[in-house]
Amino acid sequence: MPQEHRLILKHADQPGYTPDLECYLRHGGYDALKKVLALAPKDLPDGKKMSPQEQVREDVKASGLRGRGGAGFSAGIKWSLVDRKSGKPIYLICNADESEPGTFKDRQIIHKDPHQLIEGMILSCWANDVKLAYLYIRGEMPQGAKLLNKALDEARAKNFLGKNILGSGYDLEIYVHRGAGAYICGEETGLIESLEGKRAYPRIKPPYFPAVLGLYMCPTIVNNVETLCHVKHIVNMGAAEYAKLGTPNNTGTRIVSLSGDVKRPGYFEIEVGKVTIGELINDPAFGGGLCDGRKLKAIIPGGSSSKILKAGETFKLNRKGADGQMAKVDVPLLDLPYDFDSLMAAGTMSGSGAIIVLDDTRDIVEALANLAEFYAHESCGQCTPCREGSLWMSKALHRLTHGHGRKADADYLLHIAQNIQGRTICAFGEACAWPVLSYVKKFKDDFEAKGAADEAKAAAAKH
């Protein structure tokens, strides 16, 4: 029986659990902070010493933690890329600009357990010698921003934050910074520009890797809300114990946001890779299946930017056979383990952990038109292929869904999408091209039939 495994959301939905400091302290809050502050330098075999901060950084690397924001990059490696020799201050930013359509996991943490996030941030700042950090929350979460400000005040009053934290000599300040409704602020260099008080135009990499030239051209770490919370649990459990959760190279737990055509939409925390997509959709412990009498049409597996998976598809995955050898095995869509690597092998991504389910009553062209409008609205406008292309795709899809389509629109859409991806400063180009490429390729008949029907209607009207 597949089950939830709640680590981050262990307390969040328990009756009587409140977002205030007293409640958090009753549940072992800030124990991880006290634990790291008491760490002693470790003697290494070569006679050198490893600082407590370095020990925590090594633990995060050894835990296998991968970023929960979208890219799934190793958090430990991200930290190790930080330029520590520049002499400039190092900044840390919590990316709480949750705005990938389909995703609503960070909201749960911010609203129900803000101190867990703050403790995760303090630990991460301490481990990276950060003295000033920002919590960038999206503008449409005004109550979340208030809750976080209140929680930060409470933490300051108890000296978990501020000068000389708990007598350790370590100073740290964290401030809440609100966005103002732009999806592109979720892109880390766009977020940094926005935090500098500018339009959120992403920066070109190289040279502007945040780890080297980030906020105010200083080394900067940008981590997602959920990722930072995991740091607390890695400190509490130890890297080896933490890494036992999940599956190899896909360790720990993650919160999956499930929406669309299922009986029980909601968020579910699972061990990464221990639950399949089919179980997430159909098991009574999770989505509870589709509405009665409906069949599955497609799954958007990792936020709206991920490539769509069509019902009935099978994928070649590397699996260990009975003889212990790795072999390519055919895995049907619903048996795909929900983890980073399996979805990558299936040609898509687990992204922000957001699944949107479409049943057989849905028009795939309408669904794509909806998302194309989102991307056309959210393109920052900096790169021509994305600014123009996202709008052209949206216009073509608008006419296809409003009775003025053409049969050639399907190929036209593919042509535009192919000319956006890889030709932009940031990954938004891919984010708007991938849905179009995958929906049109996998459901080409639907697009062409719609366009052809409109053309036939227009021709009949002429005569």
Least distance in Å: CB of 225 to another protein? Answer: 11
d(CA 391, CA 436): 12
Distances, alpha carbon 132 to alpha carbons 89, 129, 190, in Å: 8, 9, 19
- Can you tell me which residue has the tokens 């607390």? 232
CA 236 to chain centre: 23
Q: Looking at 43, 140, 241, 445, which residue binds another protein (CB under 8 A)?
A: 140
Least distance in Å: CB of 19 to another protein? Answer: 16
Q: Do residues 205 and 235 touch, judged by C-beta distance below 8 A?
A: no
Nearer to another protein, 60 or 383 (CB): 383
Write down the H helix ranges in 19-160.
Answer: 21-26, 31-37, 52-63, 75-80, 106-112, 114-127, 142-157
d(CA 425, CA 428): 8
Query: Which residue stretch of 18-26, 76-84, 239-247, 355-363 sits at the interface with another protein (rule: CB under 8 A)?
Result: 355-363
Q: Do residues 286 and 268 touch, judged by C-beta distance below 8 A?
A: yes
- Burial code (b: 16+ CB inside 10 Å, e: under 16) for 100-113 equals bbbbbbbbbbbebb
What is the pattern of x (binds another protein, CB under 8 A) and - over residues 366-405? -x--xx-xx--xx-x-------------------------
Nearer to another protein, 380 or 437 (CB): 380
Of the candidates 251, 224, 229, 228, which has an alpha carbon nearest to the alpha carbon of residue 240?
A: 251
Q: Looking at 23, 37, 62, 132, which residue binds another protein (CB under 8 A)?
A: 132
Least distance in Å: CB of 329 to another protein? Answer: 32
Least distance in Å: CB of 88 to another protein? Answer: 11
Q: Do residues 258 and 270 touch, judged by C-beta distance below 8 A?
A: no
Q: Looking at 29, 52, 69, 179, which residue binds another protein (CB under 8 A)?
A: 179
* Residue type for position 35: K
Least distance in Å: CB of 23 to another protein? Answer: 22
Query: Which residue stretch of 60-68, 73-81, 193-201, 334-342 sits at the interface with another protein (rule: CB under 8 A)?
Result: 193-201
Nearer to another protein, 49 or 199 (CB): 199
Q: Looking at 6, 10, 150, 178, which residue binds another protein (CB under 8 A)?
A: 178
Q: Which of residues 306-345 bind another protein (CB under 8 A)?
A: none
Q: Looking at 43, 81, 153, 175, which residue binds another protein (CB under 8 A)?
A: 175
d(CA 222, CA 305): 20
For residue 363, count CB atoms less than 10 angstroms from its CB and return exposed for 0-12, middle for 13-18, buried for 19 or more.
Answer: middle
DSSP string, 216-259: GGS-EEEEEHHHHHHHHHHHHH-HHHHHTSEETTEESEEEEEEE
Q: Which of residues 263-282 bind another protein (CB under 8 A)?
A: 265-267
What is the pattern of x (binds another protein, CB under 8 A) and - over residues 41-60? --------------------
Least distance in Å: CB of 190 to another protein? Answer: 11
Distances, alpha carbon 300 to alpha carbons 292, 411, 442, in Å: 21, 22, 13
Least distance in Å: CB of 226 to another protein? Answer: 13
Give the torsion through C-alpha atoms of 168, 172, 174, 175, to 10 deg: 140
Q: Looking at 259, 282, 350, 394, which residue binds another protein (CB under 8 A)?
A: 259
Q: Is 241 in the site for another protein (CB under 8 A)?
A: no
CA 288 to chain centre: 24
Q: Looking at 10, 27, 150, 177, which residue binds another protein (CB under 8 A)?
A: 177
Q: Looking at 28, 181, 347, 422, which residue binds another protein (CB under 8 A)?
A: 181
Residues that bind another protein (rule: CB under 8 A) add up to a total of 55
Classified as helix, coil or strand, 275 is coil
What is the pattern of x (binds another protein, CB under 8 A) and - over residues 95-114? ---xxxxxxx-xx-------
Q: Which residues bind another protein (CB under 8 A)?
A: 98-104, 106-107, 132, 138-143, 173, 175, 177-183, 194-200, 216, 257-261, 265-267, 300, 304, 354, 356, 358, 362, 367, 370-371, 373-374, 377-378, 380
